[in-house]
Amino acid sequence: MNHGRIARLSLAASLGLVGVALAQPLDLSRYELVDLTHPFNAQTLFWPTSPSSFELKQLAHGPTAGGYFYSANTFCTPEHGGTHLDAPIHFSESGLTADKVPLERLVAPAAVIDVSDSAAKNADYRLTVADVLGFERRRGRIAPGTMVLLRTGWEKRWPDRKAYFGDDTPGDASHLHFPSFGVEAVRLLVEERGIAAIGVDVPSIDYGPSKDFMVHRIVSARNVPGFENLMGLDRLPAKGAVVVALPMKIEGGSGGPLRAIALVPRSRPR
């Protein structure tokens, strides 16, 4: 099965471009643009064992001798924190690095599975095969090349570290509690559905108490990237949106800061 070709056709269908001449411009007035990215700032959350966080230093800000305004900064950040990409090499020695992830896995039609009700009752909830099959009964089979996003409702806890991670002990990641993907559900999505990528509105594509990070290992083995700490998933339909998730192109990187947006079709043109 040519998942790349299917992904391109699925993306074209999502954007209403099937049968449309390539020279015709995309009419963005037909879409609502939704920001799926938390800003990077002093409040940005990183994994509890991260040795550092996001730092912005001002180099210049103000009038110059030439009479014009000029501003410039320098920044420093770990790869994994805030809204970011997990490249496959993060958990696979032979996996793709951040700069090698194909664009077809970063720009794709999205399926948004909402487990926020279940997560509200159980902070350690994991997406199940039954959840995926239930979604497909209601919305249709998840096509190859789809980006599957999991909405848990956790973004409302950002940037409260204890509420978001389930624990705020400095340097300790052994007592975390938050929902995410389940192993068997991800096997189904990756091995049988041929999805392009997965993403979630919590700190990790593995749930908080995970010690073996099997979801990371399963997707990385198939060169499927993951997107963590997303926001705005409540503004996306279950199907029909197209997500553009472009990370910083760090050569050899295991991940990197991500700017993700969604194009959501309007019910009628403006």
Catalytic one of 38, 80, 90, 216: 90
- Enter the tokens of residue 45: 């959350």
Question: Is the separation of the CB atoms in 186 and 219 below 8 Å?
Answer: yes
Question: Is the separation of the CB atoms in 204 and 48 below 8 Å?
Answer: no
Question: Is the separation of the CB atoms in 123 and 178 below 8 Å?
Answer: yes
Question: How far out from the chain centre does Cα 98 lie?
Answer: 14
84 a catalytic residue: no
Alpha helices in 166-213 (DSSP H): 183-187
| The residue count for the chain | 270
- Which neighbouring-strand residues pair with 114? 151
Cα(126)–Cα(133) distance, integer angstroms: 14
The 10 Å Cβ neighbour count of residue 229 is 27
Side chain identity at residue 241, one-letter code: A
Would you name the residues annotated as active-site residues?
90
